[in-house]
Amino acid sequence: MRASKLILPSIRFRYRLTYLIAALTVLGAGCMFVGFNPLGFFTEFHYVRDLLGEMLMPEFSQVFSNPTVWGSVLQTLSMAFLGTLFGCLAALVLAFCAASNVMPVKWVRISIRALLAITRATPGLVMILIFVIAVGLGAFAGILSLIFITVGTFGKLFAEIIELSDYAPGEAIYSVGAKRVQVIWFAVLPQTLPSFIANMLYAFDINLRTAISLGIFGGGGIGLQLNMAIKVLRYKDATALICLVIVLVVLFEKISDYFRKRILHSVSLH
């Protein structure tokens, strides 16, 4: 054995070192490009401390005595609900048109899949900006963009659920003379409905957060209130609203978790 092999680190170590250095170089170049100094987080941390000093303690009385806050909470919830409901229904219809075991026409399938892919890739920001201009500021624009966001997120998923369903029951009733619609209604839908509903509950979770974010861009609801509170520098009110948002998100996450478990459990008993 040559002496160099004993002295020098192993090949594997050198490979890893090369990867590490390459990764660090890329990260460093990225930081330089956007003008981000990681150490700045520590040297400028006093700004965060100052802000936290301004934000604490939250002024709950100011916010909760104001009826518009509760109105906007209700509005955010309705936005999320309507967006989820209509979005999931539209996604369901499109998913049946995109699933290969249900839709026999190939070009319809492909075009619907392309449509779903484009909707999925479009960020919510684009949707809300378009709808705010098309229908004006407010909850309505938020609902419309939520519908599209939901279709984008869940359309492909629903199509995959339909494609993964067992084809034996459908074939069985098809062989005794059921029409295509009857096959969908009596064989495909009963199999897939529980996971559709579970996904709808999950969609509500996501849409509640999205509804809050959309509010900041003019979608109405609690996001709008929060953005205004920060814009007029009423940080104590903003903290109270953030607490409210956290409570809302956690509460509805727990509720939808409970129902999701119940639905998936009740099915497995059959």
Partner 1 sequence: MTINGFSLKRYRRTVLPLGLLLLVTVLACLDCGVSISQLWEGMVKGFSFLAYMFPPDWSAFGEMLQPVLESIVIAVLGTSFGTFLSLIFAVFAASNLTHPWIRQITRFLIGFERSIPEIIILLILVAAFGLGAMPAIIALTLGCIGMLGKLLADTIEEIDSVMLDSMTSVGANKLQVVFYGILPQILPNLVTYALFRLEINIRLSVILGAVGAGGIGYELEYAFNMLNYHRAMTAFLLILLMVLGTEQVSNLVKKRIKGREVLL
Q: Which residues bind to partner 1, rule: CB under 8 A?
A: 16, 23, 27, 30-31, 33-38, 40-41, 44, 47-48, 50-51, 55, 74-75, 77-79, 81-82, 85-86, 117-118, 121-126, 129-131, 133-135, 139-141, 143-144, 147, 209, 212-213, 216-217, 223, 226-227, 230, 235, 238, 242, 245-246, 249-250, 253
Rank residues 144 and 203 by Cβ distance to partner 1 and give the closer one.
144
- Please spell the DSSP secondary structure of 127-147, one letter per residue: HHHHHHHHH-SSHHHHHHHHH
CB of residue 2 to partner 1, shortest distance in Å:
26
CB of residue 108 to partner 1, shortest distance in Å:
19
- Pull the structure tokens for residue 139: 């909850």
Rounded-to-integer distance, Cα 156 and Cα 111, Å: 13
The letter for the amino acid at 211 is: A
Rounded-to-integer distance, Cα 77 and Cα 43, Å: 40
Rank residues 123 and 164 by Cβ distance to partner 1 and give the closer one.
123
The answer to whether the beta carbons of residues 253 and 69 sit under 8 Å apart is: no
Contacts of 189 (CB under 8 A, 6+ apart): none
Longest CA span, the chain: 83
CB of residue 197 to partner 1, shortest distance in Å:
9
Rounded-to-integer distance, Cα 58 and Cα 78, Å: 26
CB of residue 230 to partner 1, shortest distance in Å:
5
200: nearest Cα among 159, 259, 247 = 259
Rank residues 103 and 129 by Cβ distance to partner 1 and give the closer one.
129
CB of residue 147 to partner 1, shortest distance in Å:
8
